[in-house]
Structure formats: C-alpha cells, structure tokens
C-alpha cells in the first residue's frame, strides 16, 4: 500500500510539473503557499524581445508590471511573486516580439498547488536527495514537496542575455557606498557536476562573459559567493548556436 501511495504521489507531482510549463502565450500561475505565487512558462518563439509579468486586482484594468525578465529567450522561465496583496489577484504576460509586434496573454488567477495540502506524514523529505539542479541538499534545511518551486526561476545576478552572452549583475555594494571596504564576490561555474572555472574577487558590478568559455550549448550551473558565503546556487541556459 505504501509503494502504491508513493507512486501516486510521484505521478501527481510529475503531472503538475508538466502543467506548470505551458507554451507562450499560455502560462501557469500556482499558489504554492507561504505567500508565494509561481508564474512560469515555456518559450518557443524564435524571436522575442521582452516578457513582462503584470498583476492587477481585476482581470481588465490597472495592470502593473512587477517584473521584466532579464533574458526573455530562456526556454523555461518563471518568477516567484512574494509581494502580492492577496492570493487571488490576476496575472498576465506582455510579450514583445520582433519588429514591434506585441501581444498580451489571457489573464489568470493562481491555482492552489494541491501538493501544499498534503499532510506532514505524506511529505517527502529530500535532504540528501538531488534537487532540481542535480545537487545534493547536504548541509541545507530539509526541503519538502510543499516548498519546492514548480517552475524554473532565473537568477537576477547571473543569466543569459538576449545577445547570447552570460551577463553578471552583482548586488549593490552598500559597503562601498558607505565608504567602507567593499564586499568580495566570486562565482564558480559547473557543467553538470564538473567544475569549469571560477571568477575570484570580482571588481566590476556589471559585465558579461563570452559564451565560448562554456564550449557548448545547454544548461550550466553556478554558485555565487559573497565574502566567501554561498548566497545563490542556480543555473542558466545557453542556446546551441556555437
């Protein structure tokens, strides 16, 4: 009986993940609890200039842009909205294509993530199990299915830009603004689990890395450190055009 329940649980999660990746202009909006609304989509447009997420109290008027994604060409992308006034607001996407052509998606309200309603006894403790990036959660807090994002959320610090290069946009260095010694940043890059190279003691806040440094297209992982402390572990996608 336990094996059957576990299989049903995994099948349910797999179905939800597939549903979470609707093809533009379709998109998914899920309420995953803890004041988090996940907006996610899959992009198949060959030429796309901008994707902006908009939010409104009703489905027709007063939409406000809450984010323009750093790289709209990323095949799978999303955003975790943690600042919505309530959990039943409306969301839509503004999509700008080539030659000034644009369109708006249909408006959608968040759908409750059914996995969030699973009792504690049915949740999966994935400590020590590979996470969505293929990394072990060793030394990290236990991550249960309820708290696991259903869509890929791109980093706002390390991402692929529309010109195909990897763009770095580090956090504002408040220490420098206050006349103090600045914080030291470093970034490690990985091809799956294989370490590629590291940028140490980065001086520039904003710069880009030539994509040829990564040898091929596809997904790459990175770890961003601030004063030696890991502040983000994420991934980015390079188009296969070299």
Which pLDDT tens digit goes with each residue over 159-168?
Answer: 887 777 899 9
Are 177 and 199 members of one domain?
Answer: yes
Closest by CA position to 109, among listed 53, 41, 30, 33: 30
Average pLDDT of the chain to the nearest whole number: 76
Placement of tokens 């996610």 in the chain: 40
CATH of the domain at 197: 2.60.40
Residue 180 has pLDDT above 90, yes or no: no
CATH of the domain at 127: 2.60.40.10
Phi, psi of 3 (to 5 degrees): -65, -40
| pLDDT 10s digits, 6-38 | 444 444 444 444 444 578 999 999 998 888 899
Half-sphere exposure of 4 (CA within 13 A, CB side): 1
Are 204 and 114 members of one domain?
Answer: no
Quote the tokens at residue 28.
């998914």
Are 106 and 182 members of one domain?
Answer: no
Which of 147, 166, 191 delimits the end of a domain? 147
Are 164 and 131 members of one domain?
Answer: no
Are 138 and 180 members of one domain?
Answer: no
Q: Please, are residues 166 and 211 in contact by the beta-carbon 8 Å criterion?
A: yes
Which of 147, 174, 198 delimits the end of a domain? 147
Residue 130 has pLDDT above 50, yes or no: no
Closest by CA position to 202, among listed 185, 188, 189: 185
CB atoms within 10 A of CB 190: 18
Q: How far apart are CA 147 and CA 120, in angstroms?
A: 12
Q: Is residue 153 part of a domain?
A: no
Q: How far apart are CA 133 and CA 48, in angstroms?
A: 26
Which of 147, 182, 206 delimits the end of a domain? 147
Q: Is residue 104 part of a domain?
A: yes
Domain count, the chain: 2
H or E element, residue 8: helix 2-19
Residue 67 has pLDDT above 70, yes or no: yes
Q: Is residue 71 part of a domain?
A: yes
User: Lowest-pLDDT range, 112-121, 129-138, 178-187?
Assistant: 129-138
Closest by CA position to 105, among listed 48, 30, 52, 49: 52
- Structural domain span for residue 201: 158-238
pLDDT over 70 percentage in the chain: 69
The reported pLDDT for the residue numbered 173 is 66
- The pTM of this model reads 0.46
Are 169 and 123 members of one domain?
Answer: no
Q: Is residue 135 part of a domain?
A: yes
Are 36 and 139 members of one domain?
Answer: yes
Are 234 and 171 members of one domain?
Answer: yes
Are 162 and 141 members of one domain?
Answer: no
Are 211 and 131 members of one domain?
Answer: no
Q: Please, are residues 59 and 72 in contact by the beta-carbon 8 Å criterion?
A: no
Are 85 and 190 members of one domain?
Answer: no
Closest by CA position to 161, among listed 42, 68, 25, 22: 68
Are 201 and 128 members of one domain?
Answer: no
Cα distances (Å, whole numbers) of residue 116 to 113, 131, 235: 6, 18, 25
Half-sphere exposure of 165 (CA within 13 A, CB side): 9
H or E element, residue 4: helix 2-19
- Give the bridge partners for 130, in sequence order: 136
Q: How far apart are CA 78 and CA 155, in angstroms?
A: 10
Quote the tokens at residue 130.
């590979």
């Amino acid at each position: 009986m336990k094996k059957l329940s576990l299989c049903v649980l995994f099948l349910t999660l797999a179905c939800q993940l597939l549903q979470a990746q609707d093809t533009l202009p379709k998109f998914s909006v899920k309420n995953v609890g803890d004041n988090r609304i996940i907006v996610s989509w899959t992009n198949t447009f060959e030429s796309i200039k901008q994707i902006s997420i908009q939010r409104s109290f009703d489905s027709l008027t007063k939409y406000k842009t809450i984010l323009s994604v750093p790289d709209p060409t990323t095949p799978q992308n999303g955003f975790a909205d943690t600042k919505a006034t309530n959990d039943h607001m409306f969301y839509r996407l503004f999509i700008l294509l080539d030659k000034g052509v644009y369109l708006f998606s249909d408006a959608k309200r968040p759908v409750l993530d059914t996995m969030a309603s699973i009792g504690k006894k049915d949740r999966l403790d994935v400590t020590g199990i590979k996470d969505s990036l293929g990394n072990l959660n060793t030394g990290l807090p236990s991550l249960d299915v309820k708290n696991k994002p259903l869509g890929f959320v791109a980093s706002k610090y390390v991402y692929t830009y529309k010109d195909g290069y990897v763009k770095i946009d580090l956090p504002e260095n408040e220490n420098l603004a206050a006349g103090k010694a600045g914080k030291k940043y470093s970034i490690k890059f990985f091809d799956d689990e294989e370490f590629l190279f590291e940028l140490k003691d980065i001086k520039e806040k904003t710069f880009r890395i030539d994509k040829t440094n990564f040898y091929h297209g596809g997904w790459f992982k990175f770890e961003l450190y601030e004063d030696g402390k890991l502040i983000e572990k994420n991934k980015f996608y390079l188009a296969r055009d070299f």
